Amino acid sequence: MEKIVDIIEAMAHEKNISLDSAVDAFKEALIKTAKRCTTYTSAFEATVDMDVRDYSVEQVITIVKDDDERLETEPDAVMSLEEAQEEYGEDLELGDQLRSPFVLEDHGRTASFNLFKELQYHIQRQVEQDLFTKYKDKVNTVMIGTVNRVDDDDNTFVEIGELKGLLSQRNRIKGEKFKRGDTVKALLRFVSIDPEMGMFLELTRTAPKFLEKLMAKEVPEIEDESVQIMASSRIPGQRAKLALKTDFPNIDPIGAAVGVKGTRINAVSSELNGENIDCVDYSPIPEVFITRALSPAIAQSVKVTSTTEKKAIVNITSDQKAKAIGKAGINIRLASMLTGYTIELNEVEGVTDRTGESSGNMIPETEKTTNTDALADLFK
């Protein structure tokens, strides 16, 4: 028996799992082996005492009502109250358990072989469970690994710790090419299990969250949450927008994100294959937020037409319309993704200069008056 306990300790060390996990796997293997030696409807409990380096297995029969359906489905795990009282005494009650020792050694070499096979299986399951839990806790964090191979479909396989990561073509920035031996940073999206590949990590470099995590690593103010990223949007490899907010009056959120001479934001841009990153001040007021999100275009006015469907109409002069839309519609798409609003542009007459003031026959200015008669009603 001591030899079996030694094997458990050796397996725990070899597979890099805790001794408790290895003991749990051994208990499960003992129960499965006992069922193989008897019937699969039998019930067993296993106990392992590492101090005295011993283990025991008991068969358990539970006393149930005479009409319990388990008497049909699990005949070897339960016994009716009437039968139990007839056989073992009138003092038995519902829920009591009849226990008898099960000695595995009495079942020969076949039982030993099955135990070892079951132990290997359950140890491996425990290893996979520990790995799954370990990497599940790292979802939405940046992983760094080395490219192992690139297949014919341009899927990039990355070695990350004990598992392989998969960076598929659709999760890669357009124009990026990796070769074996390259170091890759990517965001962990999911921990997946595939019948062919086994357990693997699904990686992405195109998610807005990846941009946010890279910014947090480059900008200490974002890392310590004195500057918060309230929203982000990306068209990977081309352009991105970040909405920033701070509750500290002495911190300029955009200045902190950009860094001296753009060093911080340029470092992130270089990691993202030259992606241009715009930073705007966040506002909880939708009209103000939409106006800022459309930067560098200058909007004349914004009207939210539906708060439930999140739709807004933006009045804009003809000279600003191209800026608002952007090349191939990039700017308005990013602004819409950033704010969560569907933005409709309404062209109005006039020209907007650099100060944001418009000229021309655009929107008639309200006529000022010096008549205060209307205010008199307030004081009656």
Task: Render pLDDT for 235-253 as a digit per residue (tens, 0 to 9).
Answer: 999 999 999 999 999 999 9
Query: Can you tell me the distance from the alpha carbon of 189 to that of 210, in angstroms, rounded to the nearest whole number?
Result: 10
pLDDT of residue 351: 78
Residue with tokens 């026959």: 361
Annotate 316-345 with b (16+ C-beta within 10 A) or e (fewer). bbeebbebbbbeeeebbbbbbbbbebebeb
Q: In this structure, which topology does domain 286-362 adopt according to CATH?
A: GMP Synthetase; Chain A, domain 3 (3.30.300)
Say yes or no to pLDDT of 309 above 70.
yes
Between helices 108-136 and 19-37, what is the axis angle to 10°? 140
Question: DSSP assignment of 326-357, as one string?
Answer: -GGGHHHHHHHHHH--EEEEEEESSEE-TTS-
- Mean pLDDT of the chain, nearest integer: 88
Highest mean pLDDT among 20-24, 118-122, 137-141: 137-141
Report the amino acid identity of residue 46.
Answer: A
pLDDT of residue 316: 94
Of 217 and 377, more confident: 217
pLDDT of residue 142: 95
Token pair, residue 234, equals: 């990306």
pLDDT of residue 301: 93
H helices within 2-144, ranges in order?
A: 2-15, 19-37, 70-73, 81-88, 108-136
Q: Average pLDDT in the 6-25 region?
A: 84
Say yes or no to pLDDT of 354 above 60.
no
Q: Which residue, among 284, 291, 132, 144, has the nearest Cα to 203 in the 3D structure?
A: 144
Query: Can you tell me the distance from the alpha carbon of 270 to that of 266, in angstroms, rounded to the nearest whole number?
Result: 6
Say yes or no to pLDDT of 161 above 90.
no
Q: What are the tens digits of pLDDT across the range 284-294?
A: 999 999 999 99
Q: Place 64 in a pLDDT band, splitting at 50, 70 and 90.
A: very high
State what percent of residues in the chain have pLDDT above 70. Answer: 92
pLDDT of residue 376: 52
Q: Average pLDDT in the 336-357 region?
A: 83
Q: Average pLDDT in the 345-368 region?
A: 60
Q: How many CA atoms lie within 13 A of 252 on its CB side?
A: 7
pLDDT of residue 168: 92
Annotate 259-269 with b (16+ C-beta within 10 A) or e (fewer). eeeeebbeebb
Q: Average pLDDT in the 10-21 region?
A: 84
Class of domain 207-282: alpha beta
- Shared fold status for 142-204 and 286-362: no
H helices within 52-207, ranges in order?
A: 70-73, 81-88, 108-136
Say yes or no to pLDDT of 5 above 80.
no
pLDDT of residue 295: 93
Q: Which residue, among 242, 172, 164, has the nearest Cα to 207 in the 3D structure?
A: 172
Q: In this structure, which topology does domain 2-136 adopt according to CATH?
A: N Utilization Substance Protein A; Chain:P; domain 4 (3.30.1480)
> Domain segments of the chain: what residues?
2-136, 142-204, 207-282, 286-362
Query: Can you tell me the distance from the alpha carbon of 215 to that of 206, in angstroms, rounded to the nearest whole number?
Result: 14
Say yes or no to pLDDT of 364 above 90.
no
Q: Place 106 in a pLDDT band, splitting at 50, 70 and 90.
A: confident
**What's domain 142-204's superfamily in CATH?**
Nucleic acid-binding proteins (2.40.50.140)
Whether 254 contacts 281, CB under 8 Å:
yes
Across 36-45, 120-129, 175-184, 257-266, least confident range: 120-129
Query: Can you tell me the distance from the alpha carbon of 253 to that of 244, in angstroms, rounded to the nearest whole number?
Result: 6
For residue 120, count other CB atoms closer than 10 A to its CB: 13
Q: Average pLDDT in the 354-364 region?
A: 49
Whether 17 contacts 127, CB under 8 Å:
yes
pLDDT of residue 1: 47
Q: Average pLDDT in the 351-363 region?
A: 55
Q: Average pLDDT in the 69-79 region?
A: 91
Say yes or no to pLDDT of 373 above 60.
no
Query: Can you tell me the distance from the alpha carbon of 217 to that of 145, in angstroms, rounded to the nearest whole number?
Result: 17
Q: Average pLDDT in the 49-68 region?
A: 88
CA angle in degrees (0–180, nearest 5) for 281-287-289: 20
